[in-house]
Structure 1
Amino acid sequence: MPHSPMPMGAMPPTELHPFERIIVLVSCVLSFLGASLLVFTHALWPELRTRPRQLLLYLSLADLLSAASYFYGVLQDFEASSWDCVLQGALSTFSNTSSFFWTMAIALYLYITIVRGTPTGMGLLCFFHVMSWGVPLGITVAAVALKKIGYDASNVSVGWCWINLEAEDRILWMLLAGKLWELLAYVILPVLYILIKKHISRARAALSEYRPLLARAPAFQPRTSIADKKLILIPLIFIFLRIWSTVRFILTLCNSYAVQNSVLVVLHGIGNTFQGGANCIMFVLCTRVIRTRLLSSLCCGYYRGLNQPSQSLEGGYQPAEPCKNKDVERTKAKLTST
């Protein structure tokens, strides 16, 4: 007896209009270019390879694969569980889940180093690799082997393939293949970044007692201010990009025709594909030292900013004559690492 084409209810597949496909395809291209630029800057300037940016590199690699796989899926706009549908669904499942893990790994690393002040070594990095590559790979291999990945009628995607809606245990696999980690990230990321921001605020209050010493470091306050803004934006941008996917997931489970709303479809498509572009905007285009170097490379000009003393990744610079108080230096180093 043949399976019904849509076991989750009588709701028909979501039809993608040409303008929706074009918008999402452009988002994929911009995300791919943004993630490529992050990889390029990491490879080009070894002196900027801090541990947070090393973790950002791995996140960018996941976003690269994610953008490429989503681009193929949206371009094809699958109508059945063909072999390339399964392959594309597997690649996007792996890369998208890995992106969640690396995003949370960066937040956890900043929390450990800034708030806890615990020194990190290769052990923590190896743990991040095992979790962020190994767990998504295991989930993806299991999903492919059990034939859980396939055509999803674009009701939980935007043209690409993901978990086959004909699978009886589709909800379990949707959670394992992305939604569970997405929901956890909604909670974990804001909590960690709020704790980090509170710690920075307390450290700044403590540093205010050393105003005579900090008088020789006028750029210190702007640098910490920029760091604060970025710490706030990281979870907010993640949630804003991903929330539309969660909304359509819930609507699909409820068999609501609102899942086919064009605005929701476009927001879902952009949110799932633009992570690499958002990271590029924050950590390349909005980071003065890297932006200045890029402009210098593109224009072959001479920028006075490159001659400033050892600039930090947040756009400030280290004072020419550092403060003598060790507590002040230690707290400033933690703030700069964000």
Structure 2
Amino acid sequence: MANHTEVYFSEQVIVLSSCALSFLGSSLIIITYIIWSDLRTTPRKLLVWLSVSDWFSAVSYAYGVGKVFHTDSVDCVVQGAISTFANTSSFFWTVAIAVYLYVFIVRSNKRGADSLVLFFHLISWGVPLAITVAALCLNKIGYDASEVSVGWCWVKIEAPDHVLWMLLTGKIWEFLAYVTLPVLYILIKRHIHIAHAALSEYRPILASNSTAHSFSSMADMKLTLIPVIFICLRIWSTVRFILLLADSTARQHPVLVTLHGIGNTFQGAANCIMFVLFTRPIRTRLCNALCCCYCCSHCTSNQGTAEGDGTGPLISLCC
């Protein structure tokens, strides 16, 4: 086995840029949730916890790809532990949001869906923490020669059972998410389409409402994009893992390494694009806030004052 993958400077720049975008995107999701109290619905609260995981992933991955570890060290182990915990937690929170929407929409059980939130916290933080602590105690976290990473540390490549620990610390949960997310969102979309068809039949005046149709189309698009984007981002990591198992040097190809780096670090930015920039009321508020900030700054420079605030309807996760 050629037990080392070269990480080139161009790859570092691209992946660091992806980390920066994910950091900013996750921060924006968290900030908008804090600033506007009427956005604090349960689905968006779950999205915030997912963003917290993605935020830590972006920071830890950025440190790893910026330094490109070449041996075991204290900061290598710390970085590997943080990214392992955050990345695994991100998988669980992504599935948790899908489960919540399924129970809420398909099962029409809001109380049941809300009662799952505590369970989501216990699983999405507890399981990754237990796995990470176990890996640390057994000395499994460390230098992986970028064989299934892009400069950062993960499971020690020289560990005789490194494949098992790669599965436990990420891959097995990634595989389960590949299956669970499409199934849940297909069931949700199917339920919505059936309900919408029935509504259109008995209340045609609502079906012809352009505003309602616009929001419905956007929600439908997001329900399609959520699992698609997740798979498109994460599949490169899975491909390199399979190539590692096959002992194929194709896992070291620069294009595949770059796609892997982007896929593992861009989730926070992708969520921000879908649930902030592509959500019209929130996008409008942000534009208004930026305009107000510009006006305030401009007026202050001219010894004037300006004030402004944003209002809008209650926003759910898939508005």
> Are the structure 2 counterparts of residues 128 and 209 from structure 1 closer, same or farther at C-alpha, using a change threshold of 3 Å?
same
Contact 1:287 1:313 survives alignment (8 Å): no
Per the TM alignment, residue 62 of structure 1 is displaced from its structure 2 partner at its CA by: 0.3
Match of 2:298 in 1: none
What secondary structure sits across from 1:120 in the alignment?
helix
| 1:128-147 Cα shifts (integer Å, max 9, x gaps) | 00000000000000000000
| Overall identity of the aligned pairs, in % | 62
Note the residue ranges of structure 2 that are not aligned, 5 or more in a row.
Answer: 296-305
Task: Say yes or no: does 1:147 pair with 2:139.
Answer: yes
Q: Secondary structure at the match of 1:117?
A: coil
Partner of 1:163: 155
The answer on whether the counterparts of 1:193 and 1:235 sit within 8 Å (CA) in structure 2 is yes
Paired AA for residue 44 in structure 1: I
Deviations 1:170-207 (Å, cap 9, x if unpaired)?
11111110000000000000000000000010001100
Q: Hey, what does 1:65 align to over in structure 2? A: 56
Matching of residue 89 in structure 1 with residue 77 in structure 2: no
Q: Which residue of 1 aligns with 2:250?
A: 258
SS in 2 for 1:219: helix
Deviations 1:209-264 (A, max 9, x none): 23355279542222111111000000000000000000001111111110110110
Q: 1:31 to 1:250 in 2, by over 3 A?
A: same
- Structure 2 matches for 1:153-232, cutoff 5 A? 153-214=145-206, 217-232=209-224
Matched, 1:19 2:10: yes
Residue aligning to 1:117: 108
8 Å contact 2:39–2:314 — kept in the other structure? no
What pairs with 1:289-300 in structure 2 (closer than 5 Å)? Answer: 289-300=281-292
The 1:245–1:76 alpha-carbon spacing in structure 2 relative to 1, beyond 3 Å, is: same
Shift of 1:120: 2.8
Q: 1:76 to 1:215 in 2, by over 3 A?
A: closer
- CA separation in 2, counterparts of 1:16 and 1:169? 25
Paired amino acid for 1:199: H
**Conserved 8 A contact 2:41-2:315:** no
- Counterpart of 2:203 in 1: which secondary structure? helix
Long gaps (5+) in structure 1: 1-8, 315-336
Question: In the alignment, which residue of structure 2 is the partner of 1:104?
Answer: 95
Match of 1:235 among 227, 235, 239: 227
Number of equivalences: 303
Q: Write the distance in 1 (CA, Å) between the matches of 2:95 and 2:178.
A: 10
Partner of 1:334: none
1:156 partner SS: coil
2:299 aligned partner: none
For residues 246 and 260 of structure 1, the distance between their equivalents in structure 2, rounded to whole angstroms, comes to 13
Q: Compared with structure 1, are the counterparts of its residues 14 and 41 closer, same or farther at alpha carbon in structure 2 (3 Å cutoff)?
A: same
Amino acid paired to 2:249: Y
2-structure distance, mates of 1:216, 1:150: 59
User: Paired residue for 1:271?
Assistant: 263
Preserved CA contact (<8 Å) 1:288 1:313: no
Q: 1:280 aligns with which of 267, 272, 286?
A: 272
Alpha-carbon separation, structure 1, partners of 2:261 and 2:173:
19
Structure with more helix by fraction: 2
1:15-57 alpha-carbon deviations (Å, 9 max, x no partner): 1111001100111011000000000000000001111000000
State how far apart, in whole Å, the 2-side matches of 1:27 and 1:98 are. Answer: 19
Alpha-carbon separation, structure 1, partners of 2:127 and 2:290: 40
Q: What CA distance in whole angstroms lies between the structure 2 residues aligned with 1:19 and 1:144?
A: 32
Query: TM-score with structure 1 length normalisation?
Result: 0.86
| Aligned-residue offset at 1:169 | 1.3
Shift of 1:168: 1.3
Task: Measure the CA separation in 1 of the matches of 2:53 and 2:290.
Answer: 27
